Amino acid sequence: MTPLPRDGNSPVRIAETDVGMLNSIGLANPGIDRFLTLNLPQLEKLGVPIWVSVGGFETDDYAELCSRLDDHAAVSALELNVSCPNVEAPVESAAEIVAAARLATRKQLWAKLSPAVPDIAEVARAAQASGADGLSLVNTIRGLKLDAHTLRPVLGPGQGGLSGPALKPIALAAVATCYRATGLPIVGMGGIQSGLDALEFVAAGAKHVALGTVLFADPDAPARIRIELHAAARERGWNTYEAAYAAAHEESLSLRTT
- Any idea which residues carry the catalytic annotation? 84
Cβ distance 130 to 102 under 8 Å?
yes
In angstroms, the CA 43 to CA 35 distance is 10
In angstroms, the CA 52 to CA 120 distance is 23
| CA dihedral for 164, 225, 201, 95, sign (positive or negative) | positive
20-23 and 14-17 beta bridge pairing: antiparallel
In angstroms, the CA 89 to CA 104 distance is 21
